[in-house]
Amino acid sequence: MSQIKNNFIESVGNTPLIKLKAASEITGCNIYGKAEYLNPGGSVKDRAALALIKDAQEKKLISEGGIVVEGTAGNTGIGLCLLGNSLGYKTIIVMNDNQTQEKKDTLKNIGADLRLVPPKPYKDDGNYVKVAGRLAEELKSTNNNGVVWANQFDNTANAKGHYETTGPEIWEQTDGKVDGFVCASGTGGTIGGVSKFLKEKNKNIKIYLSDPTGSALYNHIMNGELKAEGGSITEGIGSSRITKNFAEAKIDGAFSISDQESLPVLYDLIQNEGLSLGTSCGVNIAGAIRLGKELGPGKTIVTILCDRSDKYNSKMFNKSFLKEKNLPIPSWL
Q: Is 45 a catalytic residue?
A: yes
Single out the catalytic residue among 5, 19, 21, 45.
Answer: 45
Q: Are 30 and 58 in contact (CB under 8 A)?
A: no
Give catalytic residue positions: 45
